[in-house]
Amino acid sequence: MHEGSRLVNTTADPAPTPIRKRSGGRKRDTGRDDAILRATIEIMVEVGFESMTVDMIAARARAGKGAVYRRWSSKADMVLDAVALMKRDLVDLDHLPDTGTLRGDMLALFAARATERDEQFTRTIAALAAVLAQQPGIADTGHAALIEPWVEANRILIGRAVARSEATAGADVEALSQVIPSMGGYRSLIQRQPFDLAFLTGVLDKVLLPALGIPDHAY
């Protein structure tokens, strides 16, 4: 991995000392990081991962390829950070909804995600899948960047439901937290249909809540 993948390296280099070789010289323009990543997202959404070229990104960001590769060591690397940049407003773990029922919480979590971004989200997931398919070694990174926060939110919400005895005591919180992301990925990537409210309701009422032993007369 390259030094630049800061956004997703949540575990690495807490020491901020980047081994400055000398001291003099022009400072790296941090504004370029953002410009490049945003160009990456835009183009990836427009043409997809495979058709996107590094030259396109550099041109869109009005950057040279040198500036790009000084920050990320490969196209895949850039996409990972771009994806991480995107997800930051998808789920806010510090302000999860708390409506009193798991069903209410889940619907509120969904509503918080801006609807107009769905198309973008789907294409981003597809790009991420492409990266994962060709760079298995960075799977953890991609996973951490995009999907894990969502799973973590589910983990918390389901955990609460178990804690307040809304759900069965012996529920496998870990496995069940993955149900909605998994089925959402299947719907988006394989079936190519929208991850909308109707779909979410179906999964909730027919799969997740029953599996948690929450009877349907409860809602």
Partner DNA sequence: GCCTAACCGAGACGGTACGTCCGGTCTTTTT
Partner DNA sequence: AAAAAGACCGGACGTACCGTCTCGGTTAGGC
Cα separation of 149 and 92, whole Å?
8
Residues 124 and 46 sit within 8 Å (Cβ to Cβ)? no
Cα separation of 7 and 144, whole Å?
11
Nearer to its own copies, 98 or 202 (CB): 202
In whole angstroms, the minimum distance from the beta carbon of 206 to DNA comes to: 40
CA–CA distance from 90 to each of 110, 114, 140, 170, 191 (Å)?
9, 8, 19, 30, 22
* Binding-site size, DNA (CB under 7 A): 31
User: Binding of DNA at residue 22 (CB under 7 A)?
Assistant: yes
27 interacts with, out of its own copies, DNA, none, CB within 5 to 8 A per kind: DNA
Q: Give Cβ neighbours of residue 166 (< 8 Å, ≥ 6 apart).
A: 101, 102, 212, 214, 218
65 interacts with, out of its own copies, DNA, none, CB within 5 to 8 A per kind: DNA
User: Binding of DNA at residue 207 (CB under 7 A)?
Assistant: no
Q: Euclidean distance between the first and final Cα of the chain, in Å? A: 48
Q: Nearest to residue 58, comparing CAs of 79, 74, 35?
A: 35
User: Binding of DNA at residue 26 (CB under 7 A)?
Assistant: yes
Amino acid (1-letter code) at residue 218 = A
What number of other Cβ atoms are within 10 A of residue 87's Cβ?
19
In whole angstroms, the minimum distance from the beta carbon of 141 to DNA comes to: 15
191 interacts with, out of DNA, its own copies, none, CB within 5 to 8 A per kind: its own copies
User: Binding of DNA at residue 178 (CB under 7 A)?
Assistant: no
In whole angstroms, the minimum distance from the beta carbon of 15 to its own copies comes to: 28
User: Binding of DNA at residue 173 (CB under 7 A)?
Assistant: no
75 interacts with, out of its own copies, DNA, none, CB within 5 to 8 A per kind: DNA
Which residues of the chain form contacts with DNA (CB under 7 A)? 21-29, 32, 51-55, 58-59, 61-67, 69-71, 73-76
